[in-house]
């Protein structure tokens, strides 16, 4: 009996999980999903976890439960360390796996542009762990501010600088400003008669949401300004020492809080040739998402740079839709004979961002039309609820948002930190190839 073709997928984000679902229960294929976390999560809503508007479980779901009914799929908890293409093998932090086909869907990580101070002292917001850490920092520093008598020192704890005015930065600035207007006044009466600090949004481009239409940019600028957000455009954050944010234009902002949303780069791993990498450390592929130097290795989503698409010479947007569409096309091709494969072609479905309560922007494909305000806000809610992985998460998220909309309050303002435990020697895991 012919052995099943083993397809190893590294990364369970939008692209990786979509590919798993489409290959699930396909005959003649064995699929192994590898991820450093045992759950999938929904990145577009991670900023709501970081500000206490949602609980982590509302936007995450365990992989093993997702694949429970996919009889040809197994999950491996582990972090990729190295790829050995010559031997069709990958090395994880807890063993090794061999493959017939390898699919890299490893996503991105924050790009600090070589600034070690910012990397060490700023607050990233890329993972669930980052979001929980940021929530703890925000709530702890608000509480600390209630005990500081010196107004200058106190303002440093209450001022938040957000580097990066893309969708993540804009959404975070908006939600922090709404917290400042409503929640902080209710929960921290000690701060009622004092300056609650500033929300500052910094970006090197000329406007928030610079990748969207001019109308969306103008609307976003007006709404953020009305919410009290200070916009500093056409300049970059150059350094941060834990007490002061230094800007490239010479300006200094006294704050303990620098939230980093200023850029990402693809996660890279040893083993690939130098020629395999393009801009932003993305893996260069052909129109079939295949690395030309390796006939059985593919890359999807944020870590892929498809070469040869004249409409996107610098690569497709690092968003959910390109990742999902690439995964769907690759699954279709893998289930066909090689001579029947068709190249990937991206269908732009538009872009959107939320600014605050009843405030959002939506650009329809190719910027043909822009929707702003309440209607865009409703569409944003529908799209993001629909994007969650199961019905339970959709209902919980909808109820959370309805509660906030009615009460102008959020419910998950708990500071939860792991217990400090003394270090102890751990028994090394045996070097097993797979438990499949």
Higher pLDDT, 424 or 93: 93
Q: Rounded to whole angstroms, what are the CA distances from 301 to 8, 103, 142, 226, 422?
A: 16, 11, 38, 36, 40
Instruction: State the average pLDDT over residues 92-99.
Output: 96
Indicate the pLDDT class of residue 2, thresholds 50, 70 and 90: low
Higher pLDDT, 409 or 56: 56
pLDDT for 110-151, tens place per residue?
A: 999 999 999 999 999 999 999 999 999 999 999 999 999 999
Q: Rounded to whole angstroms, what are the CA distances from 117 to 66, 155, 243, 245, 367?
A: 39, 22, 12, 11, 38
The predicted pLDDT at position 433 comes to 47
Instruction: Say if residues 17 and 139 touch (Cβ distance below 8 Å).
Output: no
The predicted pLDDT at position 194 comes to 75
Instruction: Say if residues 208 and 165 touch (Cβ distance below 8 Å).
Output: yes
The predicted pLDDT at position 203 comes to 97
Residue that has been written with the tokens 């538009």 in this structure: 350
Q: How far is the C-alpha of 226 from the C-alpha of 219, rounded, in Å?
A: 11
Most confident of 101-110, 181-190, 388-397, 401-410: 101-110
Higher pLDDT, 224 or 388: 224
Task: Report which DSSP code applies to 193.
Answer: T
The CB density around residue 381, as the number of other CB atoms within 10 Å, is 17
- Ordered by where they begin, the domains of the chain are 5-36+78-110+265-340 (3.50.50.60), 116-262 (3.50.50.100)
Indicate the pLDDT class of residue 193, thresholds 50, 70 and 90: confident
The predicted pLDDT at position 3 comes to 67
Report long-range pairs for 242-247 (Cβ below 8 Å, ≥24 apart). Answer: 242/121, 243/156, 245/161, 245/202, 247/202
Rounded-to-10 torsion of CA 343, 27, 96, 82? 0
What average pLDDT is seen over the chain?
90
Q: How far is the C-alpha of 420 from the C-alpha of 391, rounded, in Å?
A: 36
Q: How far is the C-alpha of 361 from the C-alpha of 115, rounded, in Å?
A: 33
pLDDT for 261-298, tens place per residue?
A: 998 999 999 999 999 999 999 999 999 999 999 999 99
Task: Report which DSSP code applies to 218.
Answer: H
Beta strands across the sheet bearing 359-363: 351-356, 359-363, 370-372
Residues 6+ apart with CB under 8 A from 126: 43, 46, 108, 109, 110, 264
Indicate the pLDDT class of residue 1, thresholds 50, 70 and 90: very low
Rounded-to-10 torsion of CA 356, 206, 121, 36? 70
Q: How far is the C-alpha of 360 from the C-alpha of 219, rounded, in Å?
A: 9
Query: Helix (H, G, I), strand (E, B), or coil: what is residue 402?
Result: helix
Q: How far is the C-alpha of 218 from the C-alpha of 248, rounded, in Å?
A: 24
% of the chain exceeding 90 in pLDDT: 72
Q: Rounded to whole angstroms, what are the CA distances from 51 to 44, 208, 346?
A: 14, 21, 34
The predicted pLDDT at position 426 comes to 45
Angle at 4 between CA 434 and CA 35, to 5 degrees: 40
Instruction: State the average pLDDT over residues 408-431.
Output: 58
Q: How far is the C-alpha of 300 from the C-alpha of 334, rounded, in Å?
A: 14
Residue 196 confidence (pLDDT) above 90: no
Residues 6+ apart with CB under 8 A from 338: none
Residue 301 confidence (pLDDT) above 50: yes
Indicate the pLDDT class of residue 407, thresholds 50, 70 and 90: low
Instruction: Say if residues 176 and 159 touch (Cβ distance below 8 Å).
Output: no
The predicted pLDDT at position 250 comes to 95
Residue 215 confidence (pLDDT) above 90: yes
The predicted pLDDT at position 132 comes to 92
Instruction: State the average pLDDT over residues 224-242.
Output: 96
């Amino acid at each position: 009996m012919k052995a099943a073709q083993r397809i190893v997928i590294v990364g369970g984000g939008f692209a990786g999980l979509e590919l798993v679902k489409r290959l699930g229960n396909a005959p003649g294929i064995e699929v192994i999903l590898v991820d450093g976390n045992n759950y999938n999560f929904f990145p577009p809503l991670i900023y709501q976890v970081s500000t206490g508007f949602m609980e982590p479980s509302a936007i995450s779901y365990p992989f093993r439960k997702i694949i429970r009914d996919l009889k040809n799929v197994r999950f491996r908890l582990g972090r990729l360390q190295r790829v050995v293409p010559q031997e069709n093998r990958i090395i994880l932090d807890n063993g090794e796996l061999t493959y017939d086909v390898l699919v890299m869907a490893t996503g991105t990580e924050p790009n600090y542009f070589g600034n070690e101070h910012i990397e060490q002292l700023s607050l990233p917001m890329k993972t669930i762990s980052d979001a929980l850490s940021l929530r703890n920092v925000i709530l702890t520093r608000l509480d600390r501010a209630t005990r500081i008598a010196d107004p200058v020192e106190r303002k440093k704890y209450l001022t938040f600088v957000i580097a990066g005015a893309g969708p993540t930065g804009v959404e975070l600035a908006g939600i922090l400003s709404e917290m400042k207007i409503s929640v902080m006044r209710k929960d921290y009466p000690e701060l009622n008669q004092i300056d609650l600090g500033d929300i500052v949004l910094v970006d090197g481009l000329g406007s928030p949401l610079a990748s969207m239409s001019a109308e969306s940019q103008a609307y976003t600028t007006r709404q953020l300004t009305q919410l009290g957000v200070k916009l500093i455009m056409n300049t970059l954050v150059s350094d941060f020492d834990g007490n002061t944010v230094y800007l490239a234009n010479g300006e200094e902002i006294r704050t303990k809080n620098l939230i980093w949303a200023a850029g990402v780069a693809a996660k890279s791993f040893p083993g690939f040739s130098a020629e395999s990498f393009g801009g932003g450390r993305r893996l260069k592929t052909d129109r079939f998402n295949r690395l030309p130097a390796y006939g059985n290795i593919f890359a999807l989503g944020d870590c892929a740079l498809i070469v040869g698409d004249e409409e996107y010479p610098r690569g497709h947007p690092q968003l959910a839709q390109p990742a999902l569409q690439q995964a769907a096309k690759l699954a279709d091709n893998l289930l066909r004979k090689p001579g029947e494969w068709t190249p990937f072609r991206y269908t732009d479905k538009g872009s959107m961002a939320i600014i605050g309560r009843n405030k959002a922007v939506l650009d329809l494909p190719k910027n043909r039309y822009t929707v702003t305000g309440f209607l865009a806000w409703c569409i944003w809610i529908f799209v993001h609820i629909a994007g969650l992985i199961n019905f339970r998460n959709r209902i919980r998220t909808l109820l959370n948002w309805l509660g906030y909309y009615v009460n102008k309050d959020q419910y998950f303002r708990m500071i939860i930190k792991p217990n400090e435990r003394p270090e102890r020697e751990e028994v090394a895991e045996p070097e097993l190839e797979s438990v499949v």
